[in-house]
Every structure is written in structure tokens, then in C-alpha cells.
Amino acid sequence: MALLVETMGTADSGAAMGWTSVAFSGGSTLGPFAGGAIYDVAGHYAVFGLAFAILLIDLALRFAMVERKEAEALLARVNKTSYGTICEVASPAKVVPCANEPDGSESTNADPASSPPGPLADSPSDSNPPHLPPFLRLLLNPRVLTALWAVLSISLMICALEAVLPLYTQRLFTWSPTLSGANFAVFLFPILLDPLVGRLAASTNLRALFATSGFILGSLAFFALTVVTVPTTVCKAIVWAMLIVLGLAICLASTPPMLDMSAAVEAEEERSPGIYGPGKGLATSYALYSVASAVGSLAGPALAGGVMQRLGWVGVCVGLASLYAFSAVLMALFCGGWIGDKWSIGLHDSESEDCSEDIDR
């Protein structure tokens, strides 16, 4: 994700992050369906074989990936934009010398008093040395912490449902493993709208609205799933309908917090250059993002399985609904900045507009 933001830029990364969320959620939702179908046909060894094949493909793609900085350097060498001591040719009449080559005119015109006293003054991070590790500084940022909580909640929910829903529907409706896993395929239809949501969230600055709406929808869907306790056609329809609503909730709640985390890190680096170290802000934030996703993936099945044994299906649904309701409150309060600051800015803007109208009159 850090490479994606560095390559696309924060302003243009909304749709790209949306496609990343489609890939993540699509893999998570299609996994049970593919696993159930392969298990019915070829047994559990074939399921693990498919997993190892996917891991090998992923490893090969990682080795084949070229970062933007390396690609730019390679293109610069291919296009022969560097000629000896000349770094850049802007026009036939103007050349820019290399930074490592001394220039006579520059040395004669330079003022010794204005030159830095030593090499330590060249780094912007030295004027504001970080006293805490970058990951601790990021965890102290409420917007970053809120985004990490969002991805943890979404990952926990998906993995919790993957652990309990196929077994529960298989036992309640006497479905086969393939049909139980196929329920997750309905997740994919609303999730395909994620790139559009990401583009809108990046261009309209409505990240808090999208994220809060998504978690509210998810909470309501889980409360509706509590009625699925008898093997009737109505309960089957409720399962499919609420899975579609949950897919829409994931679509609304996944990308906007990621965009807000990137914006928060870049805003902090603009206020205090070098606060996270050179090039470490986005990289560290998305490393924490991956950790939060992994924690949710590990905690989801364990918590859902334990609650299922003690409290049953209704207990799992109520617990996930409560988690999403709490997440909605956090998104409303902190996503895009503290809600009190946003209100004060809105009131200030409205007062400024009123004053301008009075002056015009």
C-alpha cells in the first residue's frame, strides 16, 4: 500500500486503493467457495496445493515488481539524460551541473557567512530530531489509530464469518460445503463499487461520512442476522440479503480510512519535516496497517469460535454488531480529523460567507 501511495500520490490513490480493497475482499470471500468446491471434488490435499500455488505466484510477482524510484532511474539511464557532469538538459541554452561536481561560479558567489556551519545542518530531520520511533508517533495520531482500528474490525469480521457461517448454515439448512462457501460470493457484487467509493472519498473529502455509514450498515446487518435460527426460506433469504448489505458496508468502510491515514501522515510531515525520518512515514503507517489486518485475521476465527460455543449464533451476531457500532462512533469522531475541529471550521466558513454577503450589500 505504501508503494501504491508513493506511485499514485494521495490525490489520485482513491480508485487504486479501491481496487486493492476489491482484491483483498474478493480473495477473502471467494476463498471459502473455492475451498469448499475443491474439497468436495479432490479432498483437503488439493485445497492446500492451491494455497501453495497462490503463494508461489505471489512471491514471483513480488520479485518481478519494480519500484517507482528504480524505474525512474532506469528510464533516466535508457534515455541518456545524464551526460558526464551534466545531470539534466532543460534546453539547448541551459544546463544544470551535477550536485557532486563543484562549480566555479557558485563557489565564487557564495557567501561564507550564509553557508551552513557543518554537514549536520543539511538534513531537515536534524532540525527537528524525532525523540520517538516512527511507529509510536503514528500510534499517537488519532486519525492513524482510527484507520488501523477500521481495518482490524473489517478483517476480524470477514474472518469471523468465514469461520462460523459456513458451518452454521451447513448444519441449519443442511447445505453442502460448496453451497455454504458460495454464500460469500454475494459479498463480491457490492464490493466491486469500492473503486468508485475511493474516488469519491478522495475528491469530495467525505471520508468520515462514507466510513461511518459503512459501519452503521454493517451493525444493522448483523442485528438482522440474529433472526436466522430456523431452517426456513425466509431465513435463507435474510442470510443472502444481509451478506449483500455487509458487502456494501465493507465497500463504504474500507478505503476512506486508508485515504485518511495517508492524508494524516502527509499533513504531519508537512508541519514537521523529517518527523518520521526520510521516507518512513507512509511506509511505517502501512506496515502498521498490515499488522492490524493480520491481527484481525487471527483474532476473528478464535473469538467467533469461542463465542459460538458459549453463546451460539445470536451471540456472535450481537458481538459483531456491537463492534461495528463502536467503530461507527470512532469514524464519526476521528476520521478526517476531530469532529469538533470540523464543526468549528464549518461555523467559521459560514460566518465568513455571511460577513462577505453583508459587505456586498
CA–CA–CA angle 244, 254, 327 (5° rounding): 90
pLDDT score, position 115: 45
Give the tens place of pLDDT for each residue, 19-71.
Answer: 776 677 667 667 767 777 788 788 878 888 888 888 899 888 878 877 766 66
pLDDT at position 25: 67
What's the whole-number mean pLDDT along residues 223-236? 93
Q: State the fold for domain 2-65+132-346.
A: Growth Hormone; Chain: A; (1.20.1250)
Can you give the pTM of this predicted structure? 0.68
Phi, psi (deg, nearest 5) at residue 274: 75, 15
pLDDT tens-place string over residues 101-119: 444 444 444 444 444 444 4
Contact 317, 157 (CB under 8 A): no
CB 26 within 8 A of CB 191: yes
Q: Which of 4-13, 131-140, 151-160, 203-212 has the lowest mean pLDDT?
A: 4-13
Task: Say what the pLDDT of residue 308 is.
Answer: 94
Using the predicted structure, report yes or no on whether residue 90 has a pLDDT greater than 60: no
What's the first-to-final CA gap in the chain, in angstroms?
51
125-139 core/surface letters (b: 16 or more CB in 10 A; e: else): eeeeeeeeebbebbb
Q: What is the pLDDT of residue 16?
A: 64
Q: Report pLDDT for 88.
A: 46
> Is the pLDDT higher at 77 or at 43?
43
* Residue-level pLDDT at 58: 83
Is residue 98 within 8 Å of residue 86, measured between CB atoms?
A: yes
H helix or E strand, kind and range, residue 73: helix 68-78
Tell me the pLDDT band of 136, cut-offs 50, 70 and 90: confident
Res 233: pLDDT: 92
Mean pLDDT, all residues of the chain? 76
The Cα–Cα gap between 320 and 322 comes to 5
- Mean pLDDT within 167-186: 81
| 4-8, 31-35, 138-142 — most confident range | 138-142
Output the pLDDT for position 179: 78
pLDDT value of residue 146: 93
Residue 66 · residue 72 · CB < 8 Å: no
- Name every residue whose Cβ is closer than 8 Å to that of residue 285 and which is 6 or more positions away in sequence: 2, 138, 144, 261, 262, 265
The three grid cell numbers given for residue 206, joined into one nine-digit string: 467525505
Residues 319-338 have pLDDT tens digits of 999 999 999 999 999 988 88
Region of residue 351 (left: phi > 0; alpha: psi -120 to 50; beta: else): alpha
DSSP states of 327-352: HHHHHHHHTTS-HHHHHHHHHHHHHH
For residue 241, the model assigns a pLDDT of 93
Q: Are 332 and 144 in contact (CB under 8 A)?
A: no
